[in-house]
Amino acid sequence: MKDQDLYNYILGIADNSLILGQRLGELCGHGPNLETDIALTNIALDLFGQTRSYYQYAAKIAGDGRTEDDIAMLRNERDYKNVLLVEQPNTHFGHVIARQFLFDVYHLQLMNALQHSEDEMLVAIARKGVKEVSYHKRFSGDWLKRLGDGTDESKQKIQEAIDHFWPYTDELFDMSDSDKKMAEQGIGVDLTALKDEYYKQISEVLEEATLTIPDNPYSKRGGKQGIHTEHMGYILTELQYMQRTYPNMTW
């Protein structure tokens, strides 16, 4: 493939939206009430919309006849490049919100920066994405505050969730080889430059939510290199079920 690095770069972004969307999709119909259910589904729909743009673009770059769905659903686990954070389960609503917020802050930074890419297609996707993700961040941030400064029980639960996910945040800023090459060419984003601002923003909201900022003990990483947690296989089992069971069919 001529543009292997661009292809890899796009999948690196797309897979995060795909796997997080998949997690949120599990929740539809099971939220704490109807309004929240509808809101979380809107976020999932935004994420899946983004993934379609990315994979369609990736399919064009690959130029080997594979479709968006082939790329989204027919890779082996080691070839998925999403960060570990987004594949973590919906243990309880606090986990859903904490995972979302920790991702949204990064995601918005990424979308903002990607608007200045040398690649027109990525600029177009990012311009749409900025608006969607701004709302996601607003939603998850507001809920973080509600749970943090709500009842004793909710405070304890959301703090536990933040502590649990904290070690996964550092990976967001890892640069794969393709990431580096794309950043050098002005197509991709230099993630390392986003890090300080990320933790600054997160800390501000955690403080407002009367929560404690965890001191980072040791980071968990690997997703970007295709080394996932044990959850990933099950996510893919569902995601790929139809495509694997009935190969080469149109749906």
Partner 1 sequence: MSEKEVKNLEAIFEARIARDEKIEPKDWMPEKYRQTHIRQISQHAHSEIVGMLPEGNWITRAPSLRRKAALLAKVQDEAGHGLYLYSATETLGISREELFDQLHSGKAKYSSIFNYPTITWADIGAIGWLVDGAAIINQVALCTTSFGPYARAMVRICKEESFHQRQGYEIMLTLCNGTPEQKAMAQDALNRWWWPSLMMFGPRDADSPHTEQSMKWKLKRKTNDELRQQFVDQTVPQADILGITVPDPDLKFNAETGHYDFGEIDWDEFWQVVKGHGPCNKERMEARVGAWERGSWVREAAMAYAEKQAKKKVAKAS
Partner 2 sequence: MKKDWPLWEVFVRSKNGLEHRHFGSLHAADAEMALENARDVYTRRNEGVSIWVVESKYITASNPADNGEFFEPAQDKIYRHPTFYDLPDEVKHM
Which residues contact partner 1 by CB under 8 A? 22, 25-26, 28-38, 41-42, 44-45, 48-49, 51-52, 55, 68-69, 72-73, 92-93, 145-147, 149-151, 153-154, 157, 235, 238-239, 241-243, 246, 249-251
φ and ψ at residue 184, rounded to 5 degrees: -60, -35
The entry of partner 2, partner 1, none that residue 244 binds, CB within 5 to 8 Å by partner kind:
none
Find the shortest distance in angstroms from Cβ 247 to partner 1: 10
The residue behind tokens 């099971």 is 30
The residue behind tokens 């990933």 is 232
The entry of partner 1, partner 2, none that residue 160 binds, CB within 5 to 8 Å by partner kind:
none
43/83 with CB nearer partner 1? 43
The one segment of 29-37, 86-94, 170-178, 207-215 that binds partner 2 by CB under 8 A:
29-37
25/226 with CB nearer partner 2? 25
The entry of partner 2, partner 1, none that residue 139 binds, CB within 5 to 8 Å by partner kind:
partner 2
Number of chain positions touching partner 2 (CB under 8 A): 10
- Contacts with partner 2 in 31-50 (CB under 8 A)? 33-35, 38-39, 42
The DSSP-derived string for 61-130 is: HH-SS--HHHHHHSS-GGG----HHHHS---SHHHHHHHHHHHHHHHHHHHHHHTT-S-HHHHHHHHHHH
The entry of partner 1, partner 2, none that residue 241 binds, CB within 5 to 8 Å by partner kind:
partner 1
Category of 131 on φ-ψ map: left (φ > 0), alpha (ψ -120 to 50) or beta: alpha
40/187 with CB nearer partner 1? 40
Both structure tokens of 39: 């809101």
30 contacts partner 2 (rule: CB under 8 A): no
- Contacts with partner 2 in 91-150 (CB under 8 A)? 138-139, 142, 146
Both structure tokens of 245: 């069971």
Q: Give the residue from 167, 170, 173 showing the smallest Cα distance to 214.
A: 167
Find the shortest distance in angstroms from Cβ 124 to partner 2: 19
CB within 8 Å of 108: residues ≥ 6 apart: 130, 133, 134, 136, 137
Find the shortest distance in angstroms from Cβ 224 to partner 1: 22
Both structure tokens of 168: 């996964």
34/249 with CB nearer partner 2? 34
Q: How far apart are CA 203 and CA 208, in angstroms?
A: 9
Q: Give the residue from 76, 93, 85, 68 showing the smallest Cα distance to 10.
A: 68
Binding residues for partner 2, rule: CB under 8 A, are 33-35, 38-39, 42, 138-139, 142, 146
